[in-house]
Amino acid sequence: MLLIDKLSYQSKLRYINASEKLVYAVLTLVLCILSRSVKVAVLVFTVNGILIVGKGGIPLFRYIKLLTIPLAFLAAGTAAIMINISKMPLDAFAFSVGEWYITGSRNGLYQGWKLCATALAAVTCLYFLSLNTVMTDILGACRKLRLPSLLIELMLLIYRFIFVLFETASSIMISQQSRLGNRDFKTRVRSFGALGTSLFILSLKRSNALYDAMESRCYDGRIQVLSREQPVRVGEVVMIVLYEAVLIAVWFCL
């Protein structure tokens, strides 16, 4: 089981209505992206952190560790906006390297900071949904929202095959380590190539076996999964509406 799945089953917000959490996460994500506002992004990041750690009971160090994954990609992506190599120094900073300058402009720094803040806040919306809602509940909420059944079935199958992929890769890596397949750099490179080849073949075989098992159990194109229904609470819906209204007010007024 993946770490995010373990945390979602342990979350104190797990038994909140899944449709409420899905609508909250999607609306907040859309407003955060459309506004491109640093103030909105900071507010969304703060509120989601409080909900995930404070209300959901997710360990703070786990949450921070999960945030470091998108931060690495954001650092690489925003570096191209904030840092330039030019023969002319810009107004924010400049470091001379021979005839060239490693430099940046104030507008570039601001745009990079705004992009990083918006993207990170949007990621916290997805983390709120995934860390507090199990996958079966998310799919059940998607069915209630009348999403295409084909899309829902693909989501469930892809989700299941992720575990097949991880389990297969873990078994191969343990086998390689037990045979000293990682004793030096050259051996690690060779082992990694063998891992990729074996992983593709074995995963294909296991996915075919899984599909055969589904066919033998009268699979007709729809996967029925039992899920616990949670009532919609009026107070929570009102809080979601007020929160989204506050985000819109911050977007247009500030």
pLDDT tens digits for range 198-238: 777 877 787 788 778 877 877 776 777 666 777 888 888 89
Alpha-carbon Rg for the chain in angstroms: 23
Greatest mean pLDDT among 41-55, 143-157, 158-172: 41-55
pLDDT exceeds cutoff 90 at 46: yes
pLDDT exceeds cutoff 90 at 27: yes
pLDDT exceeds cutoff 60 at 94: yes
C-alpha span between 254 and 247 (Å, rounded): 10
Phi–psi pair at 93, nearest 5 degrees: -155, 160
Query: Could you tell me how many residues make up the chain?
Result: 254
Domain annotation covers residue 223: no
Domain annotation covers residue 66: yes
C-alpha distance from residue 122 to each of 79, 111, 133, 174, 201 (Å): 19, 16, 17, 36, 36
**Residue type for 59, please?**
P
Do 131 and 39 share a structural domain? yes
The total number of structural domains in the chain stands at 2
- Whole-model pTM: value is 0.80
Its domain, for residue 191, covers: 148-216
pLDDT exceeds cutoff 60 at 39: yes
Do 107 and 164 share a structural domain? no
Question: HSE-up of 197 (CA within 13 Å, CB side)?
Answer: 6
Do 154 and 132 share a structural domain? no
The overall average pLDDT reported for the chain is 83
Do 240 and 178 share a structural domain? no
Q: Specify the higher pLDDT residue, 243 or 2.
A: 243
pLDDT exceeds cutoff 90 at 44: yes
Domain annotation covers residue 194: yes
Domain annotation covers residue 222: no
C-alpha span between 138 and 66 (Å, rounded): 20
53-67 tens-digit pLDDT: 998 888 989 889 888
**Residue type for 183, please?**
R
Do 132 and 109 share a structural domain? yes
Do 234 and 203 share a structural domain? no
Do 170 and 84 share a structural domain? no
Nearest CA to 116 out of 160, 175, 70, 62 is that of 70
Q: Find residue 100's DSSP bridge partners.
A: 97
Do 245 and 202 share a structural domain? no
C-alpha span between 77 and 42 (Å, rounded): 20
pLDDT exceeds cutoff 60 at 1: no
Domain annotation covers residue 221: no
Q: Specify the higher pLDDT residue, 220 or 142.
A: 142
C-alpha span between 213 and 164 (Å, rounded): 14
Do 195 and 91 share a structural domain? no
Bridge-based pairing of strands 100-104 and 93-97 is: antiparallel
Domain annotation covers residue 240: yes
